[in-house]
């Protein structure tokens, strides 16, 4: 699927308006044409592009005066691209924690969350390091990341042009410690968070190539 950025410019476009309408309720071509003041053929052309990009699919048939019409809905993939309320909730939760806990206690809590998330991931402990890193990549993708693995000398890097926790990291940079612990727990090797937090946050984790050496992220 082509990567689509759900930003203001996209939502101002005709296809963005279609996505917004379909997020509210399934619609037929006639419904969309009426809402957008477009011809049926113009709507079909936009729907064809959105289907190609994996954002829209046919859902069923609705009876019409002459013949039934297909209804269209957003795919699960498209729905996951929308900002979720938990961004604001996470920000508020950390803000409250900062009034009650010390910085070290907050760090411990965030790292514990990262380790707990790693515990739900498929086990890769018997795999080699690169396979474990691939496993970490899949977990990051599952929570909204789009990272890649890059090799630098004796290091492996997980890096991305975006961050699945960007809304929280922009306000509370220490949230990166959660992701660092998540990656370290899965890859079972030393991990150093080097995220770029200038502008929109970008993930960057440096992982040692050495097998058998594990960063200690667990409290004793």
The better pLDDT of the pair 203, 68 is held by 203
| pLDDT at residue 121 greater than cutoff 90 | no
The pLDDT, as a whole number, for residue 183 is 92
Most confident option among 29-43, 137-151, 192-206: 29-43
pLDDT at 126 over 70: no
**209-216 mean pLDDT:** 48
pTM of the model: 0.58
For the stretch 55-67, pLDDT in tens is 999 988 877 666 7
Q: What is the pLDDT of residue 163?
A: 82
Q: What is the pLDDT of residue 202?
A: 85
pLDDT score of 80 more than 90:
no
What does the pLDDT look like over 89-99, one tens digit per residue?
Answer: 888 999 999 99
Segment 170-186 mean pLDDT: 91
- For the segment 7-17, the average pLDDT, to the nearest whole number, is 82
| Predicted local confidence at residue 7, as pLDDT | 63
Is pLDDT of 1 > 60? no
pLDDT level of residue 6 (50, 70, 90 thresholds): low
Three-state SS string over the chain comes to CCCCCCCHHHHHCHHHHHHHHHHHCCEEHHHHHHHHCCCHHHHHHHHHHHHHCCCEEEEEEECCCCCCEEEEEECHHHHHCCCCHHHHHHHHHHHHHHHHCCHHHHHHHHHHHHHHHHHCCCCCCCCCHHHHHHHHHHHHHHCCCCCEEEEECCEEEEECCCCCCHHHHCCCHHHHHHHHHHHHHHHCCCEEECCECCCCCECEEEEECCCCCCCCCCCC
The pLDDT value recorded for residue 173 is: 92
Please give the average per-residue pLDDT across 134-162, as a whole number. 81
């Amino acid at each position: 699927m082509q990567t689509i950025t759900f930003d203001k410019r996209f939502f101002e476009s005709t296809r963005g308006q279609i996505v917004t309408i379909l997020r509210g309720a399934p619609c037929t071509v006639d419904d969309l044409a009426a809402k957008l003041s477009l011809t049926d053929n113009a709507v079909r052309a936009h729907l064809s592009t959105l289907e190609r990009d994996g954002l829209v699919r046919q859902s069923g048939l609705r009876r019409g005066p002459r013949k039934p019409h297909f209804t269209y809905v957003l795919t699960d993939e498209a729905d996951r691209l929308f900002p979720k309320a938990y961004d604001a909730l996470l920000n508020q939760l950390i803000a409250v924690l900062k009034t009650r806990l010390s910085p070290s206690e907050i760090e411990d809590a965030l790292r514990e969350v990262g380790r707990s998330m790693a515990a739900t991931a498929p086990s890769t402990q018997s795999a080699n390091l690169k396979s474990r890193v691939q496993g970490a990549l899949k977990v990051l993708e599952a929570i909204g990341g789009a990272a890649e693995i890059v090799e630098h000398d004796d290091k492996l890097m997980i890096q991305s042009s975006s961050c699945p926790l960007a809304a929280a990291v922009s306000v509370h940079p220490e949230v990166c410690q959660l992701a660092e612990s998540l990656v370290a727990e899965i890859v079972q090797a030393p991990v150093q968070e080097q995220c770029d937090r200038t502008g929109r946050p970008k993930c960057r984790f440096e992982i040692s190539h050495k097998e058998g050496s594990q960063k200690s992220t667990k409290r004793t």
